[in-house]
Structure 1
Amino acid sequence: MLRIYAGNLPADTTEREFTELFAEHGRVRSIDLARDIFSGRCRGFGFVEMEGHEARAAISALNGYSLRGNSLRVNEERPRGRDKGGRRR
């Protein structure tokens, strides 16, 4: 199972639209669309879980894809570290 990051989403993106976009490339196991706590609008990014080969196909097809004028950034989620410089102490 791979977790995919999708960024630069339009603010009016819905869960349904987000799911359907990735479902064209395989079975979507789960989604997590970041929403603004006050307005409920999409914060411009979200996460999708798919099987490995399907996730790679979705990443390949959707990275750079234009959704209502926004060029999407789609890649495998990278773990967030405490030190943004990448150095370990």
Structure 2
Amino acid sequence: MSRKLFVGNLTYNVNESELEALFAPFGTVQSAQIVVDRDTNRSKGFAFVEMASEGESRAAIEGLDGQAHDGRNLTVNEARPRVSRSPGGGDRGGYGRRD
């Protein structure tokens, strides 16, 4: 199991210090990063939290997944590796391609 967690269904007004405080009862929070839209600088409603150990990560998932926070039920699970995307938005069904 990874120490990095995905946190979804966050309200747009949650900040990183609140996120750290939410996870602190389950262990040492090494980092808490809310993902923001690069154009508007507004939260996208999800974040990544890295705990100090796998055991702390497991405890945070068990303690927070599905729990209400600020009127929403949180989704907390192990973060998956980032999938690389091709430039231009991926496969466009052949449009704009020259074979």
Q: TM-score, normalised by structure 2?
A: 0.75
Once superposed, what is the RMSD of the aligned Cα atoms? Answer: 1.8
**Rg larger in 1 or in 2?**
2
Of 65-74 and 38-47, more deviation after overlay is shown by: 38-47
- 1:41-86 Cα offsets, whole Å, 9 max, x none, are 3210000111110110001000001011111000001124459xxx
Q: TM-score, normalised by structure 1?
A: 0.83
- Say yes or no: does 1:2 pair with 2:3: yes
Of 31-40 and 44-53, more deviation after overlay is shown by: 31-40
* C-alpha distance in 2 between matches for 1:80 and 1:72: 21
Report which of the two has the higher share of strand: 1
Q: In the comparison of the two structures, how many residue pairs are matched?
A: 83
**Counterpart residue number, 1:22:** 23
* C-alpha distance in 2 between matches for 1:19 and 1:42: 16
Identity %, equivalent residues? 41
Q: State the shift of 1:24 in Å.
A: 1.2
Secondary structure of the 1:48 match is strand
* C-alpha distance in 1 between matches for 2:12 and 2:63: 21
- 1:9-29 Cα offsets, whole Å, 9 max, x none, are 001001110010011110001
Q: State the shift of 1:37 in Å.
A: 2.8
* C-alpha distance in 2 between matches for 1:31 and 1:80: 17
